[in-house]
């Protein structure tokens, strides 16, 4: 896992040619600007952001890119490779119930938030491709949202909107227009770039701090293992986590667990079990443990104690499986892909490195930190069991959403 801050963002000739060709085919014109937003890897803080907790995350080299041209119209037209054309009318920016869970909802939501901020948004065309695979757990939706915000900022905002404002526009789009409750971690990691720790105690002003640590010096690779299960159709599973915790917090007349002292929670535990059930209580226990664990992870990295950091990553994974319970969808018996992926990581790491569920869970990917001297055998074992391409080696990207000025 490496961070190269000297490498400027560029498009390879083949990727630029793909974008130009796709734009010409879609809109019969030449694009004149290019933008990029990265996916993200969650290293610590599984489902802590929506409870205003701490996270540890990083932008990665896989990204979503767009070729763009301003148009004198009241429409935004976005052609994503392999998908139908998305057209949004700039004169209709209120949430549309029939557009829940659609690309148009995300576009409309991001634009609506920028208009609320005072941005005079005009029409444009964009052709989009991505190496952040949908359902991979690398936040393809957040990368798309941050890409949109970066485009709007570049075309109509003179670059004055901050990474936080772009990230919050993405969160607004997901919550209000798309219909998915979410925290802010995914969008923030994509918008600001690099390896960072975030504190969401004040959701309007989260504290984002770079973590100075050179993973490349630790002889380990950061890998993402694709379980083969897609997030499609799992919105209710994710929503259940926030809904259960919201009900539990209501008992204390609070909005999120960060506002509920842990001592008060444990004192009320018998009553909470009776009122809300054991799963909600266990999920709260996960938050309290995981939130503290992020601080310990950051401290271990900054102290150069990589062994302790790996231990904490493993503990995070165990907590997600046992307490948060975001590995296997409710009622799933024949298909438990995430459980299989975790078991394979444990087997092929053979007591070394670390592994944990990555992102929202229930489907998608597993994070594995693999010793370099085991990387070849680890990849081979994963590919044999889950298919070629199931194990991806990542690197950390030092910049977030950007305009690419040169090819």
What does the pLDDT read at residue 2? 40
For 296-344, how does the pLDDT look when each residue is reduced to its tens digit (9 = 90+)? 999 999 999 999 999 999 999 999 999 999 999 999 999 999 999 999 9
Q: At residue 3, does pLDDT exceed 60?
A: no
Q: At residue 190, does pLDDT exceed 80?
A: yes
- Say which residue the tokens 């539990």 belong to: 248
Q: What is the mean pLDDT of residues 26-48?
A: 96
Tell me the domains of the chain and their CATH numbers.
Answer: 13-213+397-404 (3.30.230.10), 215-394 (3.30.70.890)
For 206-250, how does the pLDDT look when each residue is reduced to its tens digit (9 = 90+)? 999 999 888 778 999 999 999 998 777 787 898 899 999 999 999
Measured in degrees and rounded to the nearest 5, phi and psi for residue 112 equal -60, -40
Q: CA nearest 362: which of 251, 227, 174?
A: 227
For 108-132, how does the pLDDT look when each residue is reduced to its tens digit (9 = 90+)? 999 999 999 999 999 999 999 999 8
Q: What is the mean pLDDT of the chain?
A: 93
Of the pLDDT bands very low, low, confident and very high (cuts 50, 70, 90), residue 93 is very high
Per cent of the chain over pLDDT 70 is 97
Q: At residue 285, does pLDDT exceed 60?
A: yes
What does the pLDDT read at residue 138? 79
Helix (H, G, I), strand (E, B), or coil: what is residue 124? strand
Q: CA nearest 40: which of 174, 125, 137, 107?
A: 137
* Consecutive H or E run containing 403: strand 402-404
Look at 406 and 260; give whichever has higher pLDDT.
260
Query: Token pair for residue 389?
Result: 């391409």
For 144-154, how does the pLDDT look when each residue is reduced to its tens digit (9 = 90+)? 999 999 999 99
Look at 153 and 10; give whichever has higher pLDDT.
153
Q: What is the mean pLDDT of residues 249-272?
A: 98
What does the pLDDT read at residue 350? 96
Dihedral class, residue 10 (left if φ above 0, else alpha if ψ from -120 to 50, else beta): beta
């Amino acid at each position: 896992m490496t961070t190269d801050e000297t490498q400027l963002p560029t498009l390879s000739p083949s990727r630029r040619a793909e974008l130009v060709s796709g734009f010409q085919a879609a809109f019969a014109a030449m694009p004149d600007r290019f933008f990029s937003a990265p996916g993200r890897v969650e290293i610590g803080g599984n489902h802590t952001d929506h409870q205003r907790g701490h996270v540890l995350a990083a932008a990665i080299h896989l990204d979503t890119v767009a070729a763009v041209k301003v148009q004198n119209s009241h429409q935004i037209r976005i052609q994503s490779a392999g998908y139908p054309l998305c057209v949004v009318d700039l004169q209709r920016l209120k949430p549309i119930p029939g557009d829940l869970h659609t690309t148009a909802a995300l576009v409309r939501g991001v634009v609506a938030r920028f208009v609320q901020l005072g941005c005079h948004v005009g029409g444009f065309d964009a052709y989009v491709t991505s190496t952040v695979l949908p359902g991979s757990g690398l936040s393809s939706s957040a990368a798309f949202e941050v890409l949109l915000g970066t485009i709007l900022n570049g075309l109509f905002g003179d670059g004055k909107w901050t990474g936080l404002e772009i990230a919050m526009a993405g969160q607004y789009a997901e919550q209000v227009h798309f219909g998915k409750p979410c925290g802010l971690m995914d969008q923030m990691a994509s918008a600001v770039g690099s390896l960072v720790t975030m504190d969401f105690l004040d959701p309007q002003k989260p504290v984002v701090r770079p973590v100075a640590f050179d993973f490349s010096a630790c002889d380990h690779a950061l890998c993402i293992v694709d379980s083969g299960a897609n997030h499609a159709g799992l919105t209710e599973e994710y929503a259940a986590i926030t809904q259960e915790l919201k009900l539990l917090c209501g008992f204390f007349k609070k909005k999120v667990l960060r506002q509920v002292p842990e001592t008060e929670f444990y004192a009320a535990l018998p009553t909470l079990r009776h009122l809300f059930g054991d799963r909600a209580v266990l999920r709260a226990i996960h938050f309290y443990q995981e939130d503290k664990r992020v601080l310990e992870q950051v401290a271990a990295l900054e102290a150069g104690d990589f062994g302790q950091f790996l231990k904490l990553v493993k503990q995070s994974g165990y907590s997600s499986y046992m307490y948060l319970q975001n590995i296997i969808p409710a009622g799933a018996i024949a298909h438990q892909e995430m459980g299989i992926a975790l078991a394979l990581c444990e087997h092929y790491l053979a007591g070394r490195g670390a592994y944990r569920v990555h992102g929202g869970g229930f489907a998608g990917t597993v994070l594995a930190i693999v010793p370099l001297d085991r990387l070849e055998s680890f990849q081979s074992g994963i590919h044999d069991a889950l298919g070629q391409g199931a194990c991806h080696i990542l690197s950390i990207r030092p910049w977030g959403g950007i305009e690419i000025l040169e090819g």
